[in-house]
Chains A and B, each alone.
Chain A
């Protein structure tokens, strides 16, 4: 039992060791596959430790003083281990391991040094994400929060020689920074008011109603802003679809299963604090539901398979946030876990398809089920789970979210989420019918991927089914009214049938549906991404670049100008003084003699 205390730290230390090893020992990193071996071995060990912790249902808090201050440390570092952490540890290490194994096959064409770099980043990411999950206080969480942001930047820009990837990396970095600014201001204000960053101390005070800070609403809103950026909530969701420029396994790990859920995790973790400010909670719920709906409409018109999945991720994050906002953070967290598994499955499946076809455009694929039945089958499992078809995991978590929102009497967000459930089934089956069924398009040399890629897919699909069956056997967690389960199944089936009619049967022409009046406006708006990207681009060019130019002008002409004048004067003065040095010894003797004479005169006149 005493040893168990150190297990969470071991989970944290293993990926860090791998990162240090790969970062410092350059020959190992340049070997590529060997670097991958190191990363996979350490993360596998971390998964083992995480599973052990999870099985024991371990609870432990340990903190160490970090920043010294008068009367106790200003801030602490340490670990907070509870059921929430245990579940996250298993999810993060499991998906990390599967993604790292998958990447060995997916990126086998990469040159060895770049592959080594990839695994270095992967290890750093695993370390940062685990540190974020284990954080016992806001400050440590913020530090790791920024680290995962850095890893996201590095991995989106993994193919940095592609301009689109480099731009997407910078965009992701800046837009999430916008939210992080709120986060850091929020936690510093919270610290100024309470004198602590630690969750347990804050929760204890919240329970005793001793947290009557007048600005608590503002503080929690600012903290929530961090989650808006990280978890791609409206209006800061624009970075996530662009982040698909990174390698597909990275999208599966960072932009579906783990990093983007950090915002949801943080809101869940700080639930006792958010509960004190109902107006912020209501905002979280409304924004979450709105994000879910908005992203779902955009997913319906997207042709890039990864971007469809990215919008779907934004939409599902909206679900989780809506649940947290409705006070049902457990349901949101439950959805986070199930979504992490099946969305990673979908991304990895999409990666296998892209690997085989060599294109991201779903309309250049088709009839792939015959060529790659295993990938098709697991992709179908993931899609059914995402659409919320029983008895897969997605059904139970989605029902829990909908039930939580309904019970919080948030009728409009509930309706938005219900429409989203319908749209989710529709757009996912649009992809499935177009990609796996129907006529084969383009050259068909598609084939099943290597076992390193198929293994993770099967494992994730198996988990989605087995866990779903276990929830079903356990009767599920009954939330909300009895009509909820039939409703959500009906919505999912309606979406599937509509997609079948439009993209498989051909009974409805998608172009004619999109041209019908109320839909045509929506279609045009969704295709333009509601003008948000253009708006941000305009603001960036109009304000940020103009301001930078102004600063640049001041620096170049005022600051540099002043220094240039000073240096020019110095040079000219030196030139003038140089004439005195004739190099003829007699001139110097003249100088000495004249100086002595001057001294005499001075002594005569002034030194009486």
Chain B
């Protein structure tokens, strides 16, 4: 297995995640898309660490996983609060910032 195949996998996962973020109307779906994109980055970091023989990438990945967990916890909490207030988590209808 060469580095290129790992990077291709990561790029695919990233693209799927981005697609999800852009197309899902449900806020939870968008959060899932963001998770996919972050994990694509993790795959990249681990792959580079493996092929360059440098543990720094592994350490970074651990950090990223921990931060991602925190981010999801905060994000889901926000979504729940929004649902309680607005009775919807449809991203199209959460447009308070429209100019």
Q: Are A580 and B95 in contact (CB under 8 A)?
A: no
Contact with A along B16-46 (1 / 0, CB 8 A): 0010011100000010000000000000000
Q: Are A583 and B98 in contact (CB under 8 A)?
A: yes
A482 interface contact, C-beta 8 A: no
Partner of A584, one of B18, B21, B23, B95: B95
A69 interface contact, C-beta 8 A: no
Give chain A residues whose Cβ lies under 8 Å from the Cβ of B94: 583-585
Q: Which residue of A lies closest to B93 (CB)?
A: A584
Contact with B along A220-264 (1 / 0, CB 8 A): 000000000000000000000000000000000000000000000
B70 interface contact, C-beta 8 A: no
Give chain A residues whose Cβ lies under 8 Å from the Cβ of B95: 582-584
Q: Are A589 and B21 in contact (CB under 8 A)?
A: yes
Contact with B along A559-590 (1 / 0, CB 8 A): 00000000000000000011111111110011
B53 interface contact, C-beta 8 A: no
Q: Are B99 and A589 in contact (CB under 8 A)?
A: no
Q: Are B99 and A586 in contact (CB under 8 A)?
A: no
Q: Are A583 and B21 in contact (CB under 8 A)?
A: no
Q: Are A593 and B98 in contact (CB under 8 A)?
A: no
B55 interface contact, C-beta 8 A: no
Q: Are A579 and B22 in contact (CB under 8 A)?
A: no
Partner of A593, one of B22, B23, B91, B96: B22
Q: Which residue of B lies closest to A590 (CB)?
A: B22
Q: Smallest CB–CB gap between A439 and chain B, Å?
A: 89
B97 interface contact, C-beta 8 A: yes
Q: How far is the CA of A583 from the CA of B99 in the complex (A)?
A: 7
Partner of B91, one of A579, A581, A584, A590: A584
Give chain B residues whose Cβ lies under 8 Å from the Cβ of A585: 30, 91, 94
Give chain B residues whose Cβ lies under 8 Å from the Cβ of A593: 18, 22
Q: Which residue of B lies closest to A580 (CB)?
A: B99
Give chain B residues whose Cβ lies under 8 Å from the Cβ of A578: 99
Q: Are A586 and B21 in contact (CB under 8 A)?
A: yes
Q: How far is the CA of A295 from the CA of B48 in the complex (A)?
A: 110
Q: How far is the CA of A397 from the CA of B34 in the complex (A)?
A: 107
Q: A584-B91, A584-B92 are in contact. Are A589 and B98 (CB under 8 A)?
A: no
Q: Smallest CB–CB gap between A450 and chain B, Å?
A: 76
Q: Smallest CB–CB gap between A579 and chain B, Å?
A: 7
Partner of B98, one of A577, A582, A590: A582
Q: Are A581 and B22 in contact (CB under 8 A)?
A: no
Q: Which residue of A lies closest to B27 (CB)?
A: A585
Q: Are A583 and B97 in contact (CB under 8 A)?
A: yes
Give chain B residues whose Cβ lies under 8 Å from the Cβ of A579: 99
Q: Which residue of A lies closest to B21 (CB)?
A: A589
Q: How far is the CA of A580 from the CA of B96 in the complex (A)?
A: 14
Q: Smallest CB–CB gap between A584 and chain B, Å?
A: 5
Among A577, A589, A590, A593, residue most surrounded by chain B Cβ atoms (within 10 Å)? A589
Q: How far is the CA of A590 from the CA of B99 in the complex (A)?
A: 17
Q: Smallest CB–CB gap between A375 and chain B, Å?
A: 82
Q: Smallest CB–CB gap between A350 and chain B, Å?
A: 75
Give chain B residues whose Cβ lies under 8 Å from the Cβ of A577: 99
Q: Are B21 and A581 in contact (CB under 8 A)?
A: no
Q: How far is the CA of A593 from the CA of B23 in the complex (A)?
A: 13
Q: How far is the CA of A593 from the CA of B22 in the complex (A)?
A: 10
Contact with A along B74-99 (1 / 0, CB 8 A): 00000000000000000110111111
Give chain A residues whose Cβ lies under 8 Å from the Cβ of B98: 581-584
Give chain B residues whose Cβ lies under 8 Å from the Cβ of A582: 95, 98-99
Q: Are B18 and A583 in contact (CB under 8 A)?
A: no
Q: How far is the CA of A590 from the CA of B19 in the complex (A)?
A: 10
Q: Which residue of A lies closest to B96 (CB)?
A: A583
Give chain A residues whose Cβ lies under 8 Å from the Cβ of B21: 586, 589
Q: Are B18 and A581 in contact (CB under 8 A)?
A: no
Q: How far is the CA of A582 from the CA of B94 in the complex (A)?
A: 10
Q: Are B99 and A581 in contact (CB under 8 A)?
A: yes
Among A578, A585, A593, residue most surrounded by chain B Cβ atoms (within 10 Å)? A585
Partner of A581, one of B30, B92, B97: B97
Q: Smallest CB–CB gap between B68 and chain A, Å?
A: 18
Give chain B residues whose Cβ lies under 8 Å from the Cβ of A583: 94-99
Q: How far is the CA of A156 from the CA of B29 in the complex (A)?
A: 84
Partner of A586, one of B91, B96, B97: B91
Q: Which residue of A lies closest to B34 (CB)?
A: A589
Q: Smallest CB–CB gap between A260 and chain B, Å?
A: 68
Q: How far is the CA of A534 from the CA of B97 in the complex (A)?
A: 68
Q: Which residue of B lies closest to A582 (CB)?
A: B98
Q: Smallest CB–CB gap between B58 and chain A, Å?
A: 27
Q: Smallest CB–CB gap between B40 and chain A, Å?
A: 14
Q: How far is the CA of A593 from the CA of B30 in the complex (A)?
A: 15
Give chain B residues whose Cβ lies under 8 Å from the Cβ of A589: 21-22
Q: Which residue of A lies closest to B18 (CB)?
A: A593
Give chain A residues whose Cβ lies under 8 Å from the Cβ of B23: 586
Give chain A residues whose Cβ lies under 8 Å from the Cβ of B92: 584
Contact with B along A345-379 (1 / 0, CB 8 A): 00000000000000000000000000000000000
Give chain B residues whose Cβ lies under 8 Å from the Cβ of A584: 91-92, 94-95, 98
Q: Smallest CB–CB gap between A569 and chain B, Å?
A: 18
Q: Smallest CB–CB gap between B94 and chain A, Å?
A: 8
Among B18, B21, B96, residue most surrounded by chain A Cβ atoms (within 10 Å)? B21
Q: How far is the CA of A62 from the CA of B84 in the complex (A)?
A: 86
Q: Which residue of B lies closest to A585 (CB)?
A: B91
Q: How far is the CA of A579 from the CA of B99 in the complex (A)?
A: 7
Give chain B residues whose Cβ lies under 8 Å from the Cβ of A580: 99
Pairs of residues from A and B, 8 with the lowest C-beta to C-beta distance, nearest first? A583-B98, A581-B99, A583-B95, A583-B97, A578-B99, A584-B95, A586-B22, A582-B98
* Cross-chain pairs A/B with CB under 8 angstroms, 6 sampled: A580-B99, A581-B99, A583-B98, A586-B21, A586-B30, A593-B22
Binding site for A on B (CB under 8 A): 18, 21-23, 30, 91-92, 94-99
Given contacts A581-B97, A585-B91, A593-B22, 16 further A-B contacts (CB under 8 A): A577-B99, A579-B99, A581-B99, A582-B95, A582-B98, A582-B99, A583-B94, A583-B98, A584-B91, A584-B94, A584-B95, A584-B98, A585-B30, A585-B94, A586-B22, A590-B22
